[in-house]
Structure 1
């Protein structure tokens, strides 16, 4: 991975709209990690995630959530 080789780390915050079925239906960048490659990797990953849907009155409903995606190198990755 290019980001790993370049030693990039950071946290991306995404606004995610989640369907009543727990599937992302919109993913938008809320706060960048400062590196386009990390931002793009976070957005791509979250499109594949499944969420526990929000509930209102005991029924699953569509809702928005802010999702932080943290990229951190371990000691093994650092060099």
Structure 2
């Protein structure tokens, strides 16, 4: 069922800072995407952050966890009221040439 059909609006990202690229990972040329499962509260905070898919690099995974725990969101809405919701957030670490 479409979210618009049942009065639900999804969680929205705000203008959150990108995670700091770990120095050692940068030096080693390590890149990857971490997929995080995040419980966003009705207040727009990350109440629980879990790794749904590792980048394969521990330092990148940890940097993503640290950053997203501090992020703020526009919470999901159901029937006009803010509500907690789980979302999947990809965090990409990519070195520029």
Question: Fold-level match, TM-score > 0.5?
Answer: yes
Q: How does 1:1-79 map to 2 (within 5 A)?
A: 1-75=23-97
Task: Report SS of the residue matched to 2:74.
Answer: coil
Aligned-pair CA distance for 1:63: 0.5
Task: Report SS of the residue matched to 1:21.
Answer: coil
Q: 1:5-49: CA deviations, max 9, x gaps?
A: 111100000100000010000000000000111110100010111
Q: Which of structure 1's runs of 4+ aligned residues deviate more than 6 A?
A: none
TM-score (norm 1): 0.92
Q: How many residues align?
A: 75
State the Cα RMSD in Å: 0.5
Unaligned runs of 5+ in 2: 1-22
**Alpha-carbon distance in 1 for matches of 2:90, 2:70:** 15
